[in-house]
Amino acid sequence: NAGVTQTPKFQVLKTGQSMTLQCAQDMNHEYMSWYRQDPGMGLRLIHYSVGAGITDQGEVPNGYNVSRSTTEDFPLRLLSAAPSQTSVYFCASSYLSGQRQGYGYTFGSGTRLTVV
């Protein structure tokens, strides 16, 4: 059972570089999302998707792009990295009916990104 797989686990970028954080789930979850975790600020929603071909913005979408071409994958793209994007990024997925059924979100183990 792979669950939610995030790659890479660690990454150092220079300001202005671009990169893609990968997220894949094998549970056939309709809903996928990206959060960033910063000290004292909890987890803040960046982008989310309720199914293939459907994405929407969360609380802090600026500087990030997403796409959802398949149910399994939900990559997060940093277009031009900035030091303010230094954070730990988590991908999470769930069934759309999962919250109502008490399943909750399944989180990946995170990507620690440092922008210098």
Using CB under 8 A as the binding rule, whether residue 92 contacts another protein is answered as: yes
Using CB under 8 A as the binding rule, whether residue 54 contacts another protein is answered as: no
Output 1 or 42, the one with its CB closest to another protein: 42
CB 55 within 8 Å of CB 48: yes
For every residue of 23-92, which 3-state class applies, written as one string? EEECCCCCEEEEEEEECCCEEEEEEEEEECCEEEECCCCCCEEECCCCCCECCEEECCCCHHHCEEEEEE
Q: Stretches 13-21, 63-71, 73-81, 90-98: which one binds another protein (CB under 8 A)?
A: 90-98
Taking the C-alpha atoms of residue 94 and residue 102, their distance in angstroms, rounded to an integer, is 10
Question: Under rule CB under 8 A, which residues in 22-51 are in contact with another protein?
Answer: 31, 33, 35, 40-45, 48, 50
Nearest distance in Å: CB 28, another protein: 16
Residues forming contacts to another protein in the complex (CB under 8 A) are 4, 31, 33, 35, 40-45, 48, 50, 58-59, 90, 92, 94, 96, 99-100, 102-105, 107-110
